[in-house]
Structure 1
Amino acid sequence: MATQRTTAGTGTQARAGEHFVVVFAGFHRPWATWIAHRLESHGHRVTLHRWDPPREVPLESALGDLLLASGRILLVLSDWFFQLGPRREGEWTEALRGVVATHAERFAAVNLTNRALLPATAVLEPVDLWSVGAHEAERRLLGRLGLPPAPNARPLPHGPGSRYPNDPPAVWGEIPRRNVRFTGRDDLLNRLQERLTDADQGTAVVTLLGMSGIGKTQMAAEYCHRFSSDYDVVWWVNSDTRGTLRERLGELAPELGLVSGSEPGERIRAVRDALRRGEPYGRWLLVFDGWDDIEGADDVLPEGSGHVLITSRNRSWSESRTALMDVPGFERHESTGYLMRRAPRITAEQADEVSAELGDIPLALVQAAAWLGESDMEVPEYLRMVRDGELSELADQGGFDGVPRSSLTSWSILINRLRESQPHAVELLSLCAAFAPGRIPIGLVRHVPPEGLPADLGWLSSDLAGWTRALDTLVNYSVFTRDTRTAIAGEEPGPEQESVHMHRIVHDIVGRLTAPAERDLHRQVVRRMLAAADPGNPQDARLWPRYAELLPHLEPSGALGSTNERVQETVLNVLRYCFRSGEFRTGVNLAEQIREHWSEILPPEHPRMLELTAQQGNILRAYGSFRAAYELDRALLERLRAAPGPDGTGLMTATSCLAADQRYLGQYTEALQAQREVLETALELLGPDDYLTLLAQHNLGAGLRLLGRYTEAYEIDLETLRKRETLLRDRHPATLVSGIACARDLRLMGRYRDALARQELVMRLHVQVLGPQHPQTLRARHNLALCERRAGALQDVGAVMAGLLEQTEQVHGRGHYATLGLVVDYGNYAREHGDLQQAKDLIAEGESGFRDLLGPAHPISTGMLSNTGLVLQAAGERTEALTMFEAAFAGLTATLGRDHPWVLGCALNAAAGRNFTGRLDSAQELSRDTLRRARHALGEDHPFTLSCEVALAMDLRGLREHEEAGKVEEDALQRLTRTLGAQHPHTLAARQRVRPYWDFEPYLG
């Protein structure tokens, strides 16, 4: 081949700056883009031309039109290129021998397949780029075009399409296998790329909308493959359910090299943060497939320099930060082209007739093409059956999301014919219909021994060859596709890990075509599969992905209403997983579904109903639905007490749940009394070392703490901690909870340095055991920040609180009580350090949030008035501040009594408010009374007691009683120095005669 080529029409030799038109089928856009990048890096100009001429245009004319462009024409060839149209081989041969041979100097080609091309392509002298590295491919490309490498050629800036197509992205997240029969959609795909690329950074989100079967998922998958060289990370998220969406998105964390635990909320936070920062990759694409339930979407959708693609049937996405693209049916030439490629024996006229009959719906055409391509049925017979409405009663049932009647009939024909010719395939297919649509872990059937299966289904676990044949048949007929997820990265899954993806329309059709008795039998088999696959330990974070896999299939398999004890235990374990993993919203919905079913088959006092109620109450409380949990537990306890011969353990569990509800609802005295009953019963029935006894003892400590009896709480918590360390282990989650409790007690007792030392250790263990973003770890981190603040830590506690607030919001949401608690504590810190506007905003948000969550009469809501008063006082609005202080003082006194530490704190602030507004006598009286009560409740050396002493000295000085003021002040300073140290902020503030205050830390128990 000559090393110099002439440019047509000029007679001059090829030189730098030559123009090339790269002609490609849409399937090979990544290659065309890379070729353009490399030619441009050597100083040439390139025009990309996607080529798919309408079939009615003669091929010679279409090739001739390419010659109208200036420069040379480079064809990107593969077997796919020659399927465009599709056209007969003879037509291609004539065009190549005619137009191309006549203008050979204008045409060149590269070959991207290892399959034999048409013999006539020899005229193009295609150079093979199949299975070679980037450097060699570039050398061959330049050699074929007769171009010398530019002496100063260098890589172009990192951008879309710059990566060599044979080099996969750094992270490729189980994208569905590329559909080699993908047809058309080129304009839609190009528009999609433009919308994503042209969007402002942080807003590149596009939602593909359309009815079921219209091809949204296939289009998203093709986009991933076609534009893969634009990205370093491509990650697919099956989004049929909230649980699977969150688990799958969280699985991206380790792929990005992020250090995180197993809790989904923690992983999602880490992923979103990494994507937002663009570290380690700034070019990323996330696909959320089948995301119809969009509640809480803003807590999941990432921001940053990457792209997000969503497929959905829900038009409510228009209300979020996403651009919408409607996905229509095929254009007619796309429909006919697809049919003729899949079933080459049919004519263009027949393909047009079938397309018209099926409404150009892609899913229907896939089935029709598969049937016509695999069977020997003639098109007229096929159309007659569709038009005559064979099995048309299926369409009369409704509920098929606008799918044409002809399409439903076509699917019915296929499945019923398979029933005659491939019964094993239909048995496997019917079994899949007993799962939920979408991803189906069908390999779980191989966990069930043959004797555990009905006689006609025993082959599923014993006949591997039959299993493979049945699966291949269904894949070949496009009834479903193989799922790409594997047990071990880089390896094909074994039969036990086999998963398939079944479209919801196909799932519905199969289910309706299955006889009721057979459907019930298959659901029973699936229930056994789910039970056999239950790992049995929902507390183990390593097993959470399995529970997330089982969850979607509980309801369609009938597991929620099963009377089988093993299945019921699996259902409870999935519910426990929701609680342990922090999937509270999912757990709330699942618990209600379970209750609806179990209420019909189990009496309220049945042990499983008691366990369900306990777990449901746990999830409701964790979710922030305190009143709902209380009503649930109260009703059960009343029924149990009224039943003859009540079960002691059941009563104990129900009473414990109600006591927990009462603590959250602010009924502290009633809760403590109930918890004492629980502990007494546990000691009597179970002994002092039982897990439930220790839980009851821990809850007793929580009740004492809420009543301000911190020393008693600490003694209880310390004993519980020691027993848990001995009977469980140092790293058991329950032991870690006791560690937090002890540190909190120490802080509230005023032993700030001891509290900080203990909480630092507890914090490290939480991160190691549960991960940094587990809900329990977030509580530990919150307590650590408070310990650091009280201990006068030198580091920037405010920055710690700000970061923790962001992370807690991502895990729980802004309105959750854990988040609101951080909002308030951060607001108090901001006020203390002079950021008054931020403090005002945060305290107002916290006050409003707790009032909405708990009601205005709850002690937390009342105590929040004191924080609002501190903000007003700092802003100079002293009269308004005093009103807040007095309201908080009076309200908490009425509910908690005058000696509760919270009441004493409000009294300290009220005395300051009276002093600042000139009510000196009243301030002095309140300060003196508060000091007396604080000494009794907290001890003479408690930092709060000493703050009361400093406040009294200031009031006395205001009344010109200088001698007593001096003695009181000197005593307070000596005690503060001895207790906290001379350099502690409290001590320094007292020496500078800064009026002490008390900020309210909202804590629910």
Structure 2
Amino acid sequence: MRRDSSLRASPFPCQPQTPCYTWWQWAEGHMADFFISYTYTDLEWARWVDFVLREAGYDTVIQEYDFRGNFITEMDKAVDECDYTLALLSPKYRASVNCQREWSAALAADPDKPQGKLLPLRVVEMEVTGLLGPIIWHDLATAPNDRDAERRLFEAIKGKVRPSTRPAFPGRGRNIPAFPGGRPAISNLGPRNPHFVGRVQLLERLDRQLKEGAVALTALAGLGGIISNLGPRNPHFVGRVQLLERLDRQLKEGAVALTALAGLGGIGKSQTAQHYAHSRTGLEIVWWLRAERLETMLGDLAELARRLGVAPEGHDLQQRARAALDELARRDSWLLVYDNAEDEDSVRDWLPQGGGAVIITSRESHWGRIPLLEVDKLARAESVELLLDLSGDTDTAAAAALAHDLDDLPLALEQAAAFAKVAGWTLARYGEEFTQAHARLLQQGKPVDYPATVATTWDISVRRVEEHNPAAAQLLTLCAFLAADDIPLDLLRPAAHRLPSPLAEVLADPVDTAQAVAELARQSLVKAKHGMLSLHRLVQLVQRNRLSEDECRDWTARAFSAVYLVYEFKENDLTTWEAAGLLLPHAEAVAGRAETAEVEWRATSWLLDKAGECLIKDGLYERAIDLRRRALSLAETKLPADDPPVATLLNNLAIAHYHAEQWAEALPLLRRALAIYEAQYGPDRHEVAATLGNLAMVYLKLGDLPEAHKLTEQALTIGEAHFGLDHPTVAVRLGNFANSLDDMGKPAEAEPLQRRALEILIAHFGEVHPLVAGSRHNLAMTLTDLGRLEEAREMMGKALSIRQTLLAADHPLTILARGLLAEIDARIARRGGASS
């Protein structure tokens, strides 16, 4: 039986903020050597000190580059976790309340030292009085040149060493009082309508059906009696008669009620599918799925499960999506539309069975055995009808001329008519402007094809946005460098200051942001829903193509900085999971662009590695390997081969290979990482211990039990000396040491160690946590080896319950626990049969 000997990541360097001054900082109890405390008027001094120290090989933390969230929280963390605080003394510094908090906290941080962790550096000539007066300070202000200033700086820090023991954790969190009135209602209902009248009998019947029926689900006949999330029917839809007839025939008469609509982006695939869905009669369920990304497709399936009343309890998206498909398999008279699917592989595993019908829309034209209908441009008469209908113009000749210029592309026709109507232009005037814009586009060397035509239409729209709301135009450009769907502007708000003005000021304010989004939406450039912003990929392409090479590089760096600054994922901190999941596609997008543009290489390496960690949590190991391999490659091209950050990335790539059960690939990476750490730090550092523990787990999988046992014991010994006996890192290593004992045939010795590890983890994280699930899993294996199957079943059941709460139903660890639980049940059954 397989146990869960999951590798634990070694401390990963904290994120750098700019390519000039940034470096790596370590996570476990030691953030950096020096926290530089300064007021903004002394920023140039702070940058100089930061650069000089980093150039000399020290780790530093500075507000400008490293503070990522709440200032007070970041300040407290920096003072607490950095070895020393360098206070840059000036009159403005003395007058600053925040600076006073920083130096006073540093002064009190280490009671065994006369001036705690505080090292004052005078950067402006002034008299140092008050509480700072008696403290030894060093003078940079009177240094005649930078060399002398460097000499004075290094004299100030000379002989300073890190504390020999880890600082105590300041607390275990707040105790939040219980709600005094019991559990409050959870609702997103708007206010009660004070003017509602009548409907007494209808309300009584509705209440009775919901309370007494076998299923609390009722459809109101006035809504058509179907379950649907279709948007409103497009009153301006024209033509497509033959295409709709062929689609209907294939779905009703074919051996498989499944058809893909394929064609160029903006050609009208989605509008055709929506019109068909509205026109088809006799259906009980009509459901639209945003299939461009797996997350949105599963989210829409999960919402269908909720509407059908079959959504399982818990927070697992894939489990809820699968419940919807299972329910559809038991029904007929339904239609699902998978809109904007990338390819067959992206939807194959999420297609329903049963007596319904499926339409897939996609730009992809190769769909294997799935019947395919090609969607072409509109006929000229249909284009003219659409332009006249949308614009309100009556000039048929101008509409025909414009339709010719736009090549009958539905998206371009709709854009042009919408702009003409809003601007108060005739179609003839629009045609004149289009001719001028198109000529300019040709002069820039762009081909006269579909992207160019759409680019010209959007260029006019963007110029109008630039006139009315320059920040909205900048927002559109920012979005062009992110993933196309579900851009969470609220999550990007803390990074607003990293963006150019006026976007920085607008994004910092929710109301101003909403106005900018509305301006873009009015021009049909974006779609906003539930706080998320989405735009077509062609809009992104066109917007990027509008920029010069230098501008494109600048916006690549800005978009990267915005995502990088707010992206935070910690496997052991469940509060980071949701936001990291929403930002994950954008992190991958900006990191990929940053790689291509060769900007922010250190930060790009960090973001790729961190996104890989999130993918490991989701069980997407091959994608994690790809990202972490790229992260390592970036570092190896810039850093010496024996640099500790390279070792960290080697370790983390090995972890991804380990989860993918590629143990032979993980082994040389870990050996190389260990050699670097031991050469740089000696044998007793916690980085060395983490790598030893990871190596041990690989040896365990490769069958070298004596070596695995030896290394787990070494890792545990170093961990206990570094962290103490009750630290969760020690608990993980204790559990792995117990695993090695169990695998060597000593389950009786392993059991008490497993239980001790579990106690530490529950005390630190609570019951619902992935590490607790892993510890229960391993203890269940040990109990199984001891023949105590009922206890093992209970323990594995709890591990499975945690994983079903936190992870997807088809996550490898969930599947593993489910399979092992079934195997334990089978053993219990066999033992009972043998006894009887």
Listed as ranges, the matches of 1:861-900 within 5 Å are none
Asked whether 1:441 is paired with 2:491, we answer: no
- Whole-Å Cα distance in 1 between the matches of residues 623 and 379 of structure 2? 40
Asked whether 1:391 is paired with 2:440, we answer: yes
2:354 equivalent in structure 1: 304
CA contact (8 A) 1:358 1:404 kept: no
1:231 equivalent in structure 2: 284
1:214 equivalent in structure 2: 267
* CA pair 193-764 structure 1, distance change in 2 beyond 3 A: same
Q: Secondary structure at the match of 2:787?
A: coil
Q: Which amino acid aligns with 1:479?
A: L
CA contact (8 A) 1:671 1:703 kept: yes
Alignment match of 1:483 (pick from 523, 528, 531): 528
1:166 equivalent in structure 2: 223
Cα offset, 1:337, TM superposition? 0.9
- Whole-Å Cα distance in 1 between the matches of residues 231 and 248 of structure 2? 19
Asked whether 1:513 is paired with 2:546, we answer: yes
Q: Which amino acid aligns with 1:656?
A: G
Cα offset, 1:986, TM superposition? 3.8
Listed as ranges, the matches of 1:376-455 within 5 Å are 382-383=430-431, 386-387=434-435, 389-393=438-442, 396=445, 403=450, 405-416=452-463, 418-420=465-467, 423-448=470-495, 451=497, 453-455=499-501
Q: Secondary structure at the match of 2:771?
A: helix
1:286 equivalent in structure 2: 336
1:205 equivalent in structure 2: 258
Bigger Rg, structure 1 or 2:
1
* CA pair 532-177 structure 1, distance change in 2 beyond 3 A: farther
Listed as ranges, the matches of 1:70-85 within 5 Å are none
Cα offset, 1:329, TM superposition? 0.9
CA contact (8 A) 1:267 1:773 kept: no
Q: Deviations over 1:191-215 (max 9, x none)?
A: 3233233345xx4322111122212
Q: Secondary structure at the match of 1:391?
A: helix
- Whole-Å Cα distance in 1 between the matches of residues 811 and 305 of structure 2? 14
Alignment match of 2:422 (pick from 374, 377, 385): 374
Cα offset, 1:473, TM superposition? 3.5
Listed as ranges, the matches of 1:701-740 within 5 Å are 701-740=738-777
2:586 equivalent in structure 1: 553
Q: Deviations over 1:90-143 (max 9, x none)?
A: xxxxxxxxxxxxxxxxxxxxxxxxxxxxxxxxxxxxxxxxxx99x99xxxxxxx
2:400 equivalent in structure 1: 352
- Whole-Å Cα distance in 1 between the matches of residues 443 and 327 of structure 2? 49
Task: Point out the more displaced range, 607-616 or 718-727.
Answer: 607-616
Q: Which amino acid aligns with 2:700?
A: R
* CA pair 580-753 structure 1, distance change in 2 beyond 3 A: same
* CA pair 655-502 structure 1, distance change in 2 beyond 3 A: same
1:659 equivalent in structure 2: 696
Cα offset, 1:234, TM superposition? 1.2
Asked whether 1:456 is paired with 2:493, we answer: no
Q: Deviations over 1:337-371 (max 9, x none)?
A: 11112223352122112212222112222222233
Q: Secondary structure at the match of 1:219?
A: helix
- Whole-Å Cα distance in 2 between the matches of residues 717 and 598 of structure 1? 38
CA contact (8 A) 1:527 1:558 kept: yes
Q: Deviations over 1:374-413 (max 9, x none)?
A: 3355655654565564332587457x9x626444444434
Q: Deviations over 1:797-816 (max 9, x none)?
A: xxxxxxxxxxxxxxxxxxxx
Q: Deviations over 1:628-669 (max 9, x none)?
A: 333433443344345475882222223333333333334444
- Whole-Å Cα distance in 2 between the matches of residues 771 and 745 of structure 1? 26
CA contact (8 A) 2:337 2:359 kept: yes
Cα offset, 1:556, TM superposition? 3.5
Q: Deviations over 1:443-487 (max 9, x none)?
A: 5454456x554332234236666545543333333223x234x2x
Q: Deviations over 1:415-445 (max 9, x none)?
A: 3455456534422322221222244334545
Listed as ranges, the matches of 1:705-854 within 5 Å are 705-760=742-797, 762-763=799-800, 767=804, 775-792=812-829
1:970 equivalent in structure 2: none
Q: TM-score, normalised by structure 1?
A: 0.55
CA contact (8 A) 2:591 2:607 kept: no
Q: Which amino acid aligns with 2:223?
A: N
* CA pair 233-665 structure 1, distance change in 2 beyond 3 A: farther
Listed as ranges, the matches of 1:297-696 within 5 Å are 297-317=347-367, 319-320=368-369, 322-345=370-393, 347-375=395-423, 382-383=430-431, 386-387=434-435, 389-393=438-442, 396=445, 403=450, 405-416=452-463, 418-420=465-467, 423-448=470-495, 451=497, 453-461=499-507, 467-480=513-526, 482-484=527-529, 486=530, 497=531, 499-516=532-549, 518-527=551-560, 529-530=562-563, 534=567, 544-558=577-591, 574-600=611-637, 612-643=649-680, 648-696=685-733
Q: Deviations over 1:761-794 (max 9, x none)?
A: 555565566686554343332222222222236x
Cα offset, 1:260, TM superposition? 4.4
Alignment match of 1:194 (pick from 237, 249, 253): 249
CA contact (8 A) 2:777 2:817 kept: yes
- Whole-Å Cα distance in 2 between the matches of residues 528 and 383 of structure 1? 40
Q: Secondary structure at the match of 2:483?
A: coil
CA contact (8 A) 1:261 1:771 kept: no
* CA pair 193-726 structure 1, distance change in 2 beyond 3 A: same
Cα offset, 1:604, TM superposition? 6.6
1:985 equivalent in structure 2: 833
Cα offset, 1:678, TM superposition? 1.8
CA contact (8 A) 1:220 1:287 kept: yes
* CA pair 658-302 structure 1, distance change in 2 beyond 3 A: farther
- Whole-Å Cα distance in 1 between the matches of residues 280 and 477 of structure 2? 37
Q: Which amino acid aligns with 1:272?
A: L
- Whole-Å Cα distance in 1 between the matches of residues 612 and 588 of structure 2? 13
1:266 equivalent in structure 2: 319
* CA pair 699-592 structure 1, distance change in 2 beyond 3 A: same
Higher relative contact order (CA 8 A, sep 6+): 2
How many pairs were matched up? Answer: 616
CA contact (8 A) 2:262 2:362 kept: yes
The two structures, once aligned, show a CA RMSD in angstroms of 4.0
Cα offset, 1:517, TM superposition? 5.2
Cα offset, 1:163, TM superposition? 9.0
CA contact (8 A) 2:619 2:812 kept: yes
Q: TM-score, normalised by structure 2?
A: 0.65
Q: Deviations over 1:13-50 (max 9, x none)?
A: xxxxxxxxxxxxxxxxxxxxxxxxxxxxxxxxxxxxxx
- Whole-Å Cα distance in 1 between the matches of residues 305 and 655 of structure 2? 28
Q: Which amino acid aligns with 2:474?
A: E
Cα offset, 1:334, TM superposition? 1.6
Q: Secondary structure at the match of 2:476?
A: helix
CA contact (8 A) 1:206 1:308 kept: yes
- For structure 1, list consecutive stretches of 5 or more residues without a partner in the other structure: 1-131, 137-161, 487-496, 794-979, 989-1005
Q: Which amino acid aligns with 2:477?
A: S
Cα offset, 1:335, TM superposition? 0.8
- Whole-Å Cα distance in 1 between the matches of residues 651 and 307 of structure 2? 37
- Whole-Å Cα distance in 2 between the matches of residues 768 and 557 of structure 1? 31
Q: Deviations over 1:254-305 (max 9, x none)?
A: 4443214334443443333333234xxx444333222224436433322222
* CA pair 600-682 structure 1, distance change in 2 beyond 3 A: same
CA contact (8 A) 2:569 2:580 kept: no
- Whole-Å Cα distance in 1 between the matches of residues 515 and 805 of structure 2? 47
Q: Secondary structure at the match of 2:360?
A: strand
Listed as ranges, the matches of 1:101-112 within 5 Å are none
- Whole-Å Cα distance in 2 between the matches of residues 316 and 754 of structure 1? 53
- Whole-Å Cα distance in 2 between the matches of residues 538 and 756 of structure 1? 26
* CA pair 193-521 structure 1, distance change in 2 beyond 3 A: same
